[in-house]
Amino acid sequence: MSKNIGFISTRFAGSDGVSLESAKWAQVLWVDKHVSYWYSGRNDRDPGCSYCVPEAYFGHPENEWINERIWGHTRRSPEVTARIREMADYLKGTLYDFVEHYQIDILIPQNVLAIPMHVPLGIAVTEFMAETQMPAIAHHHDFYWERTRFSVGAVKDYLDMAFPPSLPHLHHIGINQAALEQLALRKGVTSSLMPNVFDFDNPPPEIHDPYTADIRDEIGIGPDDVLILQPTRIVPRKGIEHAIKLVGMLGDSRYKLVISHDAGDEGLDYKQRLEDMARHEGVDLRFFAARIGEIRQVDHEGNKIYTLWDIYKHADLMTYPSTYEGFGNALLEAIYFRVPVVINRYSIYVQDIEPKGFKLLEMDGFITPELVEEVRRVIEDRDYRDSVVDHNYEVASHYYSYSVLRRILRYHIAALTGEAPMSNRKTSLNNNHNR
């Protein structure tokens, strides 16, 4: 029987991991006729199925006021406690309204019970579920103990209570094995593994797309140049200095390093260091964030805005030298668009991804001459490149496709509702019909 699914987050907008994976979950759920509705502080989903509460956004002034007084401090004042409680109670009331308005059957909190960027919302969701005993699947992308900025705080009581809670009608899903192990150790909570996924059952359209025909010209890259794409924000944990070092060691002026995103709210110091390093290494470094958006459009100056997927189709190589990733969405994106990948062996990659058998160009914290030659071969030898990317696509299809996610979600919905999984019900109906 189809269900009304209520997704909850601080934000469902843009290209962050939570927004992207939530949309994929909704797409997969729709195959079984489950209808998704969206509760958040910011939202770019269809207004007809959305419930936007500005106070639920992590950047809301009241929540920022609270965060300034609870993180980096070991004590909180009665006023802070009162304002946390006031906001939590208000948000809990809006959750009751959301569930009643859309007749929600199952909740899916997206990361709001894992990372405490909005403590009052985490409290509100936890108390709502405790009061209603509504079935729920909590999707955890990253936990507070994985981020140094949450290592010192004045809300241990709330962290223990709500990040995440342990409730009998709440199932937990994490995106990597290390997170599941820590969740069990720290909270005594069992959980299921469901890494990020991509629609490998439906390959991308051909590269011949009139809209993107000029994208290399717009970047300033000639037809004989090699586009090396760094599809990340400019933050230190992305290890972009390794990408610069790699291009420098390749020693070929045709190789251009293009960074797709900007620094965001983490400051510009790292970006400046990268620019200085590129000059020193003689690397042609291009920043293209101003021309990358969520959708294709034209800006106020008449310039085309492309999507990240548009640039993937024209990339010759992707660099992914991150020191840490919760999983690594960009890795699946590159594999989907059949782009060879240089990857640093960050911990989650080593534990969860590497054993799957991909053919990736690996580094272990630094660039070696051997890696440089591997990169040169995969760029210049077309037959070798094709064999690598085709192999990676097949492996990803087996482990990270929508069909894998569909099986996991069917299991959890069946366990929470007491109904047979959709695939089993279809089999039963067919058997009855054939009698």
Is residue 228 domain-shared with residue 158, that is, in the same domain? Answer: no
233: phi > 0 → left, psi -120 to 50 → alpha, else beta; which? beta
Asked if residue 202 belongs to a domain, the reply is no
**Are 283 and 247 spatial neighbours (Cβ–Cβ below 8 Å)?**
yes
Is residue 146 domain-shared with residue 123, that is, in the same domain? Answer: yes
Asked if residue 44 belongs to a domain, the reply is yes
DSSP-derived secondary structure for 263-284 = -TTS-SHHHHHHHHHHHHHT-E
Q: Which pair of tokens denotes residue 313?
A: 């189709």
Asked if residue 435 belongs to a domain, the reply is no
Residue 430 above 70 pLDDT? no
What is the spatial distance between Cα 87 and Cα 90, in angstroms, rounded to a whole number? 5
Domain enclosing residue 23, as ranges? 4-197+402-427
**Are 57 and 10 spatial neighbours (Cβ–Cβ below 8 Å)?**
yes
Residue with tokens 């840490």: 324
Q: At 196, is the secondary structure helix, strand, or coil?
A: coil
Length of the chain: 435
Is residue 167 domain-shared with residue 245, that is, in the same domain? Answer: no
pLDDT at 435: 37
Is residue 111 domain-shared with residue 36, that is, in the same domain? Answer: yes
Asked if residue 107 belongs to a domain, the reply is yes
Task: Give just the sign of the alpha carbon dihedral 9, 10, 15, 18.
Answer: negative
**How open is the CA angle 200-180-237, to the nearest 5 degrees?**
70
Asked if residue 85 belongs to a domain, the reply is yes
**Are 286 and 220 spatial neighbours (Cβ–Cβ below 8 Å)?**
yes
Is residue 218 domain-shared with residue 355, that is, in the same domain? Answer: yes
**Are 260 and 289 spatial neighbours (Cβ–Cβ below 8 Å)?**
yes
Is residue 64 domain-shared with residue 150, that is, in the same domain? Answer: yes
Is residue 375 domain-shared with residue 409, that is, in the same domain? Answer: no
Is residue 153 domain-shared with residue 73, that is, in the same domain? Answer: yes
Is residue 181 domain-shared with residue 267, that is, in the same domain? Answer: no
Asked if residue 434 belongs to a domain, the reply is no
pLDDT at 370: 97
CA atoms within 13 A on the CB side of 343: 25
For β-strands 304-305 and 297-298, DSSP reports them as antiparallel
Is residue 267 domain-shared with residue 382, that is, in the same domain? Answer: yes
Could you tell me which of 392, 422, 396, 397 has the C-alpha nearest to residue 407? 422
Residue 366 above 60 pLDDT? yes
pLDDT at 160: 97
Q: At 32, is the secondary structure helix, strand, or coil?
A: coil
**Are 241 and 259 spatial neighbours (Cβ–Cβ below 8 Å)?**
no
The per-residue pLDDT for range 96-149, each reduced to its tens digit, is 999 999 999 999 999 999 999 999 999 999 999 999 999 999 999 999 999 889
- Tell me which of 98-102, 307-311, 335-339 is least confident: 307-311
Is residue 179 domain-shared with residue 280, that is, in the same domain? Answer: no
Q: At what angle do helices 382-399 and 329-336 cross, to 10 degrees?
A: 120
Give the CATH number of the domain where residue 421 resides: 3.40.50.2000
Could you tell me which of 31, 22, 17 has the C-alpha nearest to residue 333? 17
Is residue 350 domain-shared with residue 373, that is, in the same domain? Answer: yes
Asked if residue 348 belongs to a domain, the reply is yes
The per-residue pLDDT for range 376-418, each reduced to its tens digit, is 999 999 999 999 999 999 999 999 999 999 999 999 999 999 9
Q: Which pair of tokens denotes residue 31?
A: 């195959």
Number of separate domains in the chain: 2
Please state, rounded to an integer, the average pLDDT across all residues of the chain: 93
Residue 426 above 60 pLDDT? no
**Are 156 and 116 spatial neighbours (Cβ–Cβ below 8 Å)?**
no
What is the spatial distance between Cα 127 and Cα 133, in angstroms, rounded to a whole number? 10
Residue 427 above 50 pLDDT? no
Asked if residue 264 belongs to a domain, the reply is yes
Q: Which pair of tokens denotes residue 286?
A: 């291009």
pLDDT band per the 50, 70, 90 thresholds, residue 266: low
pLDDT at 424: 52
